[in-house]
Amino acid sequence: MGWTRISIAIADITKMRVESIVNAANNTLLGGGGVDGAIHRAAGPGLLEECRNLRGCPTGEAVITGGYNLPAAWVIHTVGPVWRGGGHGEDETLARCYKSCLDLAVSRGLSTIAFPSISTGAYGFPLERAAPIAIREIASFLKREESLKRAIMVCHGKKAFNCYIRALRLQIRLEEKSSPNAPELD
Ligand code: AR6
């Protein structure tokens, strides 16, 4: 079962004491507002310098840098889709962001990763639609990949938290249906 290794938290991702945190960046990787700005501010100028050398990141893909002054050792930068009404492959691209980050974490031997709610701020992806996509992608990855011990969805407020809790409950029900030996939950 993938969902047993997912946590949902209300927190500031820049304060998370985990091996890696994910940044919801833009294609330039040169910083911005939202969680991107907060991560760059907390990490210090070394992060921007390393990002400059990477020369950008395509939408849906991910790259990794050091964490500099952050408690997290690594930052995995991904670029989410800009919401354009839902008919332009936004769902698939968002799912690909989560998978790219998880693949990268595993390829570096990392065992913990904390995600922000990618694309649901400045990029306008509706939270209620993004949450089940994120949870489904993370849960199915964790099911396949034993080396990743924990994934944390870090929510920046109660609204996002409630949304991700609902998405996790839905995922539990789906996994219970497909696995008759799964533990019972209320
Ligand atoms: N910790 C956790 N989550 C946060 C934090 C934080 N410190 N700050 C904001 N969030 P956004 P996007 C939440 O706009 O939609 C940047 O300018 C926030 O409440 O940061 O992918 C980039 O450079 C929201 O739920 O990212 C890009 O240009 C979520 O993080 C663009 O914004 C994502 O909101 C990317 O837009």
Instruction: Determine the pLDDT at residue 173.
Output: 93
Q: Is 36 a catalytic residue?
A: yes
Task: Quote the ligand 1 centre to 181 CA distance (angstroms).
Answer: 38
Instruction: Determine the pLDDT at residue 38.
Output: 98
Who contacts 92 (Cβ-Cβ below 8 Å, separation ≥6)?
A: none
- The CB density around residue 155, as the number of other CB atoms within 10 Å, is 24
Who contacts 174 (Cβ-Cβ below 8 Å, separation ≥6)?
A: none
Give the up-direction half-sphere exposure of residue 11: CA atoms within 13 A in the CB hemisphere.
16
CA distance 102 to 184: 28
**pLDDT by position in tens, the chain (length 186):** 788 999 999 999 999 999 999 999 999 999 999 999 999 999 999 999 999 999 999 999 999 999 999 999 999 999 999 999 999 999 999 999 999 999 999 999 999 999 999 999 999 999 999 999 999 999 999 999 999 999 999 999 999 999 999 999 999 999 888 876 655 555
- The CB density around residue 38, as the number of other CB atoms within 10 Å, is 17
> pTM for the whole thing?
0.96
Measuring from each residue's beta carbon to the nearest atom of ligand 1, which residues come in under 6 Å? Answer: 12-14, 24-26, 32-36, 38, 80, 116-123, 154, 156, 160
